[in-house]
Structure 1
Amino acid sequence: MTGFANQRLKTLGLLGSLYVSQYIPLTFIYEALPAFVREQGMSLEVIGLLPLVALPTIFKFLWAPAIDRYGFTRWGHYRFWIISFQLLAIASVVIAGKLDLEGNFLLLLVAMFALCLWCASQDIATDALAVAVLEPQERGWGNGVQMSGNYFGAVIGGGGMLILLDWWGWRSSMLVLAALMLFALLPILNFRESRCQKPDTSQFVLLDLVRFCRRPQMWRWLVVLALFTAGPMMANTMFRPLLVDIELSMTDIGLLLGVASYGAGIVGAIAAGFLISRLGRRRSLLVFSSLRAICVAAYLLPALGATTLPVLYAIAMSSQFTNSMAITALFTLMMDKSELTTAGTDFTLQTSLVYLGGILAAPFSGLAAKGFEYEGAFLLAIALSIGSVVAIAGLVEKGHIHPNPPLATLSQQIFPKK
């Protein structure tokens, strides 16, 4: 029994290392890179092109069926893809580090696009592996590890890389980033993945996406996914310029959003992993989403003039804490809705829809703030957050979210209990 427990801890450690390693470069692109190239004198118009390199993280569901179907199974089906994409990502970081930013910004965009492509593709394989190796009753903890890994990777890739860039410059910092990603490969190199049944490769790969969407009552679940991050994303998008407008320094903003907020997210993910197994899936999702909506409503306080640092820290940390809990519960249910033979496709399609809903909603926060000040933007975010809770409550009432999913068998084959 002790040996089995140790094996499960190693599995959680494996998943944690993979999620940390793939989120470090993504957060670097989102948060550290724009600030650094601006300091190098890059124009705002050019910097505005940076978000385009993240397109693979949204549309990765399009090639997820191919990763489910094809691979070098002698190395382990998903293990092969994870190692391959991680090595390609490391190569992209090393190449980017050798570029002279002043005269090669277009090449930098290409390298960063490739980096996002490899990280997004690795995420497909990592999520599929997580679905396979986690027992249903372990998925709360597993997704807590996932979210904690994401937030820890964000601390390193955002604030950590900015500090390194300030101290050591571009080339040395990128080599450190590559070394961190290479080090994160060690757990997966020591992991042995058993063979598993894969989808029929004679059929068109995109049919897997169609089959998922055509499952009974799936459209209701897809609506929940599309609404889930819209409200919090709108609030977070406007919170950053609000902090600038009230004249917080870059250091203050970095500590508030890059350290304290993400740190609260790590704690929230761990707390959610502990509570989901006790409250159940559907109760956890409903409770955590309701708490998150309350925290989104708190963004009105600084918009109305409550701008002391204790208030701002309380808002940022509680928002990230409850958002991390809610997403952990959601991802646990998303795993339950993923078939073992098409796990990469099913889970990736759901995550893409979650993030796409938030990305599409974010621009409306700017329009609302322009027309109705920050208060208008936050009121719209509150309305969408409440709408998400109502949609979730409707699924629970109709019985479309099950508290106790059927047990999977694949992870039992990989880690048989003795």
Structure 2
Amino acid sequence: MTGFAKHRLKTLALLGSLYISQYIPLTFIYEALPAFVRQQGMSLEAIGLLPLVALPTIFKFLWAPAIDRYGFTRWGHYRFWIISFQLLAIASAAIAADLTPDRNFPLVLAAMFALCLWCASQDIATDALAVGVLTSQERGWGNGVQLSGNYFGAAIGGGGMLILLDWWGWKPSLLIMTGLMFVALLPIFNFRERRAQKPDTSQFVLLDLVRFCRRPQIWRWLIVLVLFSTGPMIANTMFRPLLVDIGLSMTEIGLLLGAVGYAAGIVGATVAGLLVARLGRRRSLLWFCGLRVFAIAAYLLPAFGIVNLPLLYGVAIGSQLTNGMAMTALFTVMMDRSELTTPGTDFTLQTSLIYFGGIFAAPLSGVAATAWGYEGAFILAIALSLGSVASISVLVERNIASIESTLKNEA
């Protein structure tokens, strides 16, 4: 293996470790914490407050321009922010470990909010670093690594942490989580960042957001981002209660949606990372999103009463596999649309729009399932997913083609 190949491999391993480290605590908050505090006798009203701690992941685009512009560049601009935010996240998790959820729930919420804030902020810097260190031809691979890291971190923070909480309780489990976060941070200490361009710090910081939104025809791309996650969010939100109604135990659901589902997501992201460069941006995005429509359509089988365990595993695997592929292709194009002077701002604003689309779609799932049953909710998810594919084809086909032309010229 040549020195250059070793360097690129180390870079991909670095990015993978960073995405793993930030998704362990985020998925712990989303998945493991609600189940644990409910087991401890916490009221549903109190548990309903937990989503509020995730607000930084939605609004992180507001402070992304500051991370792009300012930093202690002697350490490496984004390297400084990544190390700082990760150490703050580790400290927040360690503080939470000394609290008892059933006795100090408001303080636990505050610690979890801080943990989410630092992880969301680290994500800005990590995405910006990825935009800068990956060449245009490497972005398919890089985003395959990113999504694989996300899924692997989610598997640890969700199912893995639930198992630890069940075995050893609150404090030992959170201390183990802090240890894992620190280990995942170690590769960044040996990384030397080179930043080719510096942003203009003379103008008002939020103007970077305005500049992105004023790009020619950018509204077409923003519509695509908002629609992208609506269908999958509706389908995935209703699949979990459907499994409960079918009669699966919590352990069976955890294995189905956690270990097996996330493993399928890793495979999908890895496969897509290999294919994006060969198929091209346009075809990858259209084909993978098209495959995702068929995976969502498979949810109708258990909804109509066709139920057996192998089928349910097939549905869960297909959903996460195709979603990992589609997300890898989408993130690759998002990197292409991020300027090297403001990569954190540009990429974060795009990811926030994806979250917005999912958040607005989630309440529709419950309304649709109540009015029309699970079948109606999944049909709505299929329709919105088809709309997402149509928006990609109609609104951004030429733009993606022009990006591919630019990449060929660069090569």
Deviation of residue 344 (structure 1)? 0.2
For the Cα contact (< 8 Å) 2:145–2:269, is it kept in 1?
yes
**Which has the larger displacement, 186-195 or 6-15?**
186-195
Give the match for residue 245 of structure 1. Answer: 245
CA distance in 2, matches of 1:295, 1:274: 21
Give the match for residue 390 of structure 1. Answer: 390
Give the match for residue 108 of structure 2. Answer: 108
| SS of structure 1 residue aligned to 2:247 | coil
Matched letter for residue 192 of structure 1? R
1:24-51 superposed Cα distances (whole Å, 9 cap, x missing partner): 0000000000000111010111101101
CA distance in 2, matches of 1:272, 1:89: 31
CA distance in 2, matches of 1:373, 1:385: 19
Matched letter for residue 132 of structure 1? G
- Alignment pair present for 1:279 and 2:302: no
> Where does structure 2 lack aligned partners over 5 or more consecutive residues?
none
**Which has the larger displacement, 239-248 or 196-205?**
196-205
1:2-40 superposed Cα distances (whole Å, 9 cap, x missing partner): 000000000000000000000000000000000001110
For the Cα contact (< 8 Å) 1:93–1:175, is it kept in 2?
yes
Give the match for residue 304 of structure 1. Answer: 304
CA distance in 2, matches of 1:366, 1:401: 38
| SS of structure 2 residue aligned to 1:194 | coil
Deviation of residue 402 (structure 1)? 3.4
Give the match for residue 265 of structure 2. Answer: 265
Give the match for residue 17 of structure 1. Answer: 17
Give the match for residue 194 of structure 1. Answer: 194
CA distance in 1, matches of 2:159, 2:379: 30
> Where does structure 1 lack aligned partners over 5 or more consecutive residues?
413-418
Deviation of residue 195 (structure 1)? 3.8
CA distance in 1, matches of 2:277, 2:77: 29
- Alignment pair present for 1:357 and 2:346: no
| SS of structure 1 residue aligned to 2:341 | helix
- Alignment pair present for 1:331 and 2:331: yes
CA distance in 1, matches of 2:181, 2:191: 17
| Residue identity (%) | 76
Give the match for residue 43 of structure 2. Answer: 43
| SS of structure 2 residue aligned to 1:341 | coil
Deviation of residue 397 (structure 1)? 4.3
- Alignment pair present for 1:184 and 2:200: no
Give the match for residue 130 of structure 2. Answer: 130
Deviation of residue 294 (structure 1)? 1.0
Deviation of residue 396 (structure 1)? 4.8
Give the match for residue 86 of structure 1. Answer: 86
CA distance in 2, matches of 1:60, 1:270: 27
1:193-220 superposed Cα distances (whole Å, 9 cap, x missing partner): 1243222111111110111011011000
Give the match for residue 151 of structure 1. Answer: 151
Deviation of residue 277 (structure 1)? 1.1
Matched letter for residue 148 of structure 2? S
For the Cα contact (< 8 Å) 1:128–1:343, is it kept in 2?
yes
**Which has the larger displacement, 399-408 or 329-338?**
399-408
Matched letter for residue 2 of structure 2? T
- Alignment pair present for 1:295 and 2:295: yes
Matched letter for residue 231 of structure 2? G
- TM-score (structure 1 length as normaliser): 0.96
Give the match for residue 227 of structure 1. Answer: 227
For the Cα contact (< 8 Å) 2:220–2:396, is it kept in 1?
no
Give the match for residue 69 of structure 1. Answer: 69
1:333-384 superposed Cα distances (whole Å, 9 cap, x missing partner): 0000000000000000000001110111011010011111111111111110
**Which has the larger displacement, 314-323 or 191-200?**
191-200
- TM-score (structure 2 length as normaliser): 0.98
Change in Cα spacing, 1:397 to 1:202, as seen in structure 2 (3 Å) is closer
CA distance in 1, matches of 2:214, 2:73: 29
For the Cα contact (< 8 Å) 1:217–1:400, is it kept in 2?
no
Matched letter for residue 8 of structure 2? R
CA distance in 2, matches of 1:92, 1:325: 33
Deviation of residue 102 (structure 1)? 1.6
Matched letter for residue 101 of structure 2? L
Change in Cα spacing, 1:290 to 1:188, as seen in structure 2 (3 Å) is same
Give the match for residue 415 of structure 1. Answer: none
CA distance in 1, matches of 2:407, 2:346: 18
CA distance in 1, matches of 2:185, 2:304: 48
CA distance in 1, matches of 2:43, 2:105: 11
